[in-house]
Structure 1
Amino acid sequence: MKVGGKVITSRLIFLCLGSKPFAPPINGLKETGFLTSDTVLKLERLPKRLGVIGGSYIGLEYGHFFSAMGSEVTVVEMMPRILPMEEPEISSVAEKVMGKYMNIFTNKRVVEVKKEGNSKLMVAEDLTSGERSVFEVDEVLVATGRAPNTDILKPEKGGIEVDSKGWIITNEYLETSQPGVYAFGDANGKYLFKHVANYESMVVYYNAVLNKRIKVDYHAVPHAVFTYPEIASVGLREKDAIKKYGEENVLIGLARYEDTAKGEAMGVKDYFVKVILRKDSREILGAHIIGPYASILIQEIVNLMYTSDKTYTPILRGMHIHPALSEVVERAFFNLMEPSQYHHVIREHFHWI
């Protein structure tokens, strides 16, 4: 490995390059100036009006933060819904609630950013009608994903293969195409979460240092969105489960927060736990939660998905403290139904979805 004019040699090399914010080629963006997740917290003065390009995890988390601090936040997302990687009903509830404290616009692409006096203007085009809207803000935060750092390191010069986007290619042991060189965390572009990097570092330690052959297991990678409301997911979405196993072999469980004693006491509405199971084996395929403490509630399910049979039996047999919010997870597994019935129930309970 060459650093400056010095060549460093080692029996083992770990590539932990992280990633960087991706900024799309928007006319005038660079000239006008913008913030990213790497720079936004370096602001010394709270912007009165913050424009956010991107309505997924990073954009909504920072939108929530600045809204809570007192900024007027406008989020522009080009997809038909915010959080496009989440279940549609999760996105729908999130947009309904977040829309109370942020201005959210979907199906619009920002095509230009320009300066006007002390303000910045975001020009967005509706992807259906072509109609243009102009949003006047003080600062623009770009939250449109992450990009690899391999353009700096240039690992391909050392014979290390990268994919078409620049992420380092690794096998199931997190080895690169060069012996003794491993890549983990954002560098391999698989799952850009800190907890995944923590897990991968353990796999690399066992394989590289202890000479084991441990394969990575990504079948139940959890994630959370730290907004209000909080969101957490793990495993397959409904459409992916149906595509893989067939609708006739999928069951869905549903429980609303408000139908538990704790949820009623908290006065929360419209929040729920959705679980997805394989009908023939009772294997947990996925879970999706929106509501308070979602990131904590989902851990019980994540842990079961890493057991040998991956079933929900321990949840049914174990006692859940009453009145605790964990009862909403238990109730979801007691309330299983066919996908068609689930969507009927969803429409009845959440008529605006």
Structure 2
Amino acid sequence: RDIEMIRRGLSHAPNIDYYPHPASFVAPYTLKVAGKYIKGDMIFLCTGSKPFIPPIKGLQRVEYHTSDTILKIKKRPSSLIIVGGGYIAAEYGHFFSAMGTEVTIVGRNPQFLPQEEPEISALAKREMGKYLKIITNHEVVEVGKTLSGKKRVIAVDRSTGKRVSFTADEILVAAGRASNSDVLKPEKGGIKTDKKGWILVNEYLETSMPNVWAMGDAIGVHLFKHVANYESEVVYYNAVLKRKVKVDYHAVPHAVFTYPEIASVGMKEAEAIKKYGEDDVLIGIERYQDTAKGEAMAVKDYFVKVIVKKDELKILGAHIIGPQASVLIQEVINLMYTEEGSAYPMFEAMHIHPALSEVVERAFGSLMPPKHYHHVLVEHYGLPER
């Protein structure tokens, strides 16, 4: 619906020639679209991405869905197998399970939601595992059909080599995203890409061709809508206003809209320790249930984790699992984008009581060395580390 509104707006704009067709380069600064050749001195590439389809035996002979097609179905499937264990798999798994579908997620990575902190992934797997089946460290090697017409997925345990079979009404492939360069053909326009076809840009988001700019999923860096929004501003400053604004990814946030909800920004613990050393990193944690609002909501085990640099208390990262995680993380994001990026304003500001924002405040008030943090996590809180 939103996309249709955008299309109508573009097609009726007096200063825009809108072509609802794929475009491809035929020469530098020249594109072919709908049989026409279009030239431009300045080009913005916002070509997005598409679902990555792994080379699984039999997959092309069986009807399957991707994130582009799954919401177009007319009838709720009674059972669904999701190939992939990242945030797309998690979100659709949560959605269809909530609708009453029996969901099985089969992920290749040993860690469910591998982009998250291990302890957050482990807790998410435990909690989401109460209403859907999550299989990790299994590689899907074959897809077929049963005699009754159901779809069969065969996976191999990457630790033992044991083959396991799953059956369901529908299959959703959620194994990541891929570049659209096979359609765009940027190489014909003199535009360099990496081995996977993602468009290469400099720190100003300009491609290898002067005055050709790329942003969003097309560059394959952070594949989120809010990142594309930010990158479009950088391109506007540089291409149109002729400024020299460097793209800044030091505090890129994201959220996973499941139950429980997950949000993250900045470095993970291992990244911070690798860069600064264990002695120069402090970690804070606070459980929802240890605040008045969290207790009133009767939520158990969900928590906020924050990571700071020891000396100046510069915020390095924050990771949240629990209600309103995507909202709570914004308080940290805003501080990370100040000049100092310090946690001190968090200590100095008043926080409404009783409100969930106190969970974030108290996490910063409980900073400790990493080893102590893991002791508290396991021995005091009884939470899984991985």
Structure 2 length-normalised TM: 0.90
Q: Residue 271 of structure 1 corresponds to which residue in structure 2?
A: 302
Which residue number corresponds to residue 96 of structure 2? 66
Q: Secondary structure at the match of 1:288?
A: strand
Instruction: Pick one of 154, 162, 170 that aligns with 2:193.
Output: 162
Which of 311, 325, 350 does residue 382 from structure 2 map onto?
A: 350
How far, CA to CA, are the matches of 1:182 and 1:330 in structure 2? Answer: 40
Where 2:178 maps in the other structure, the secondary structure is: strand
What CA distance in whole angstroms lies between the structure 1 residues aligned with 2:114 and 2:179?
22
Count the aligned residue pairs. Answer: 353
Distance 1:351 1:206 in 2: 46
Q: Out of 111, 114, 130, which is 1:100 matched to?
A: 130
Q: CA deviation at 1:351?
A: 4.7
Q: Give the 3-state SS of the residue equivalent to 2:333 in structure 1.
A: helix
Distance in 2, matches of 1:2 and 1:238, equals 45
- Percent identity between matched residues is 63
Q: Which of residues 37, 51, 60 is equivalent to 2:67?
A: 37
Give the match for residue 199 of structure 1: 230
Q: How does 1:79-228 map to 2 (within 5 A)?
A: 79-116=109-146, 117-228=148-259
Q: 2:289 matched to 1:258?
A: yes
CA distance in 2, matches of 1:131, 1:7: 54
Question: 1:328, 1:180 → 2: CA distance?
Answer: 46
After superposition, the C-alpha distances for 1:112-153 in whole angstroms (9 at most, x for unaligned) are 110123200011111111111111100000000000001101
Please give the per-residue CA displacement for 1:25-44, whole angstroms capped at 9, x wherever unaligned.
Answer: 00001111210000000000
1:285–1:352 distance in 2 versus 1, CA, 3 Å: closer
Q: Could you list the per-position Cα deviations for residues 78-132 of structure 1 after superposition, in whole angstroms to 9, with x for gaps in the alignment?
A: 1112011110100110001000000111111111110123200011111111111
SS in 2 for 1:123: strand
Distance in 2 between residues matched to 1:23 and 1:151, nearest whole Å: 14
Q: Which runs of 5+ in 2 are unaligned?
A: 1-29
1:292 maps onto 2:338 in alignment: no
Cα deviation for residue 352 of structure 1 reads: 4.3
Structure 1 runs, 4 residues or longer, greater than 6 Å off? none
Evaluate the alpha carbon distance shift between residue 199 and residue 352 of structure 1 in structure 2; reply closer, same or farther with a 3 A threshold. Answer: closer
Q: Deviations over 1:215-267 (max 9, x none)?
A: 10000000000000000000000000000000000000110000000000000
CA distance in 1, matches of 2:192, 2:75: 43
Which secondary structure state, in structure 2, belongs to the residue aligned with residue 161 of structure 1?
coil
TM-score, reference length from structure 1: 0.99
Q: Which residue of 1 aligns with 2:32?
A: 3
Give the match for residue 340 of structure 2: 309
Give the RMSD, CA atoms, in angstroms: 0.8
The DSSP-based 3-state class of the residue aligned with 2:109 is: coil
**Counterpart code for 1:60:** A
Partner SS, residue 301 of structure 1: helix
Counterpart code for 1:165: K
Q: Secondary structure at the match of 2:39?
A: coil
Matches of 1:97 and 1:177, distance apart in 2: 46
The reply on whether 1:242 has 2:273 as its aligned counterpart is yes
* Structure 1 residues 352 and 236: alpha-carbon distance in aligned structure 2, compared to 1, 3 A threshold: closer
2:301 and 2:383 in contact (8 A); partners too = no
Aligned-partner Cα distance in 2 for 1:190–1:107 = 25
Given that residues 253 and 266 in structure 2 are in contact (C-alpha distance below 8 angstroms), is that contact kept between their aligned partners in structure 1? yes
Q: What is the CA–CA distance in structure 2 between the aligned matches of 1:305 and 1:350, rounded to whole Å?
A: 30
